[in-house]
Amino acid sequence: MVVQIPLGYKTSLEDIAAVISSILEARNLIIICGAGVSVSAGIPDFRSSQGLFTTGALSKDLLDANVWNTTTKALSLCKILAIMHQECSQASPTPFHLALKMLDEKGGLLHVYTQNIDFLESKAGLSFGIPQMHSPQDMPRCIPLHGTLETLACIKCCYQSPLHLHVSTLVTGCLPLCPACEQIEHERRICHKRPRTSGTLTPTIVLYGQTHPAADHLAQAIMRDANGNSKKVKPDVLLVASTSLKIPGIIAAVHKFSQAVHSQEFRGGYRSIYLDQKPLSSKWDGIFDTWVSGDLQIFAQHLIRSLSHQFDQSIDDAICSKDSTTISILVQDLSSKASFSLKGKKHIFLNVDHPFYIPEI
């Protein structure tokens, strides 16, 4: 049976000490992030009571892989994605994202797999991208499972371009033509060769019914993390945060990682942790050891405090101006661009538009 641990602003650190301890003591921690991780950054999720699907702001059929074949739907999705990109670009990492970076600096964080397309993990300072199997030692810390809104890619030649360069085209409901294809066609015309159709640039997000262009790389990364890499490193703790667990690929990954962590020797605590406001069904018994029910940003605040103590730094350290090089943590009224350092660690620079607010608990 899954142990439930309620979480609220009155929850004391002692109430969730076993969960925090499991995360901090992990030598090879795997984290899977869902859409709820970014809600407090102003980016809505999809399936909650205020989600895009529930409110009607975005219909599920617009995220079908065939959308680009339907002019009306493609026009609507182009406009929506342009707006979403602007929202993501203006959004700041949340305390949970900050906790991810602190865990990375501490050591023991194996990989973060994110379902989000908002690239906030990258903004928080985690190395970010699709792993390349020919150089596994250089695997990025955070791996996007569903692509991101950072780039556009040609459906014909795979040329990529930053999305922000094409927002003005997308808001009109049009997909921009691929400049690489256009250049090839220009050269063909000069040589009096038969003309061919240029490709168009589409956002590098994975739609329903669409095969991920890097599916093989992702599958190999998940299998290697679950089964052990060349150094026989296997995950010993799994944290799944704010995901509805509706996507088949995510369900399969959670089962695989849960099996892996439960096969490892671990001195006490919880091996597999689910963090979300929505309850777990009984089908997840044996997969998760505990369900921390509540706002994950509150959990992140507890985790940050414990991390700061572990680094022998208090959350109440003096707050410095933006021109300073060191602060212990970002709090209300901090300047929009600042850095902080963990004792004995290199500086971490966060470029944010709005300060984090971490209230007293």
Q: Where does a domain end: 167, 182, 205?
A: 205
Distant-in-sequence, close-in-space partners of 117: CB < 8 Å, separation ≥ 6 = 88, 144, 146, 147, 148, 149, 205
Indicate the pLDDT class of residue 155, thresholds 50, 70 and 90: confident
181 assigned to a ligand binding site: no
Active site residues: 146
Residues 330 and 240 in one domain: yes
User: Contact at 8 Å (CB) between 276 and 243?
Assistant: yes
* Rounded-to-integer distance, Cα 358 and Cα 354, Å: 13
The CATH number covering residue 303 comes to 3.40.50.1220
Residues 7 and 32 in one domain: yes
* Rounded-to-integer distance, Cα 289 and Cα 272, Å: 5
Give me the DSSP letters along 257-319. HHHHHHTS---SS-SEEEE-SSPPPGGGBTTBSEEEES-HHHHHHHHHHHHHHHTT--TTSPP
Please give the tally of structural domains in the chain.
2
- List the single range of 6-15, 115-124, 158-167 with lowest mean pLDDT: 6-15
Residues 246 and 116 in one domain: yes
* pLDDT recorded at residue 319: 32
* Residue-range definition of the domain harbouring residue 280: 3-43+93-146+210-351
pLDDT tens column, 97-106: 999 999 999 9
Token pair in block for residue 13: 């650190």
User: Contact at 8 Å (CB) between 55 and 262?
Assistant: no
Residues 85 and 97 in one domain: no
b/e per residue 224-258 (b: at least 16 CB within 10 A): bbbeeeeeeebbbbbbbbbbbbeeebbeebbebbb
Residue 361 lies in a domain: no
- List the single range of 44-48, 342-346, 355-359 with lowest mean pLDDT: 355-359
Q: What are the residues facing 328 on neighbouring strands?
A: none
Residue 254 lies in a domain: yes
pLDDT tens column, 57-113: 787 888 888 888 888 888 888 988 898 898 899 999 999 999 999 999 999 999 999
Instruction: Give SS3 for 5.
Output: strand
Residue 357 lies in a domain: no
178 assigned to a ligand binding site: yes
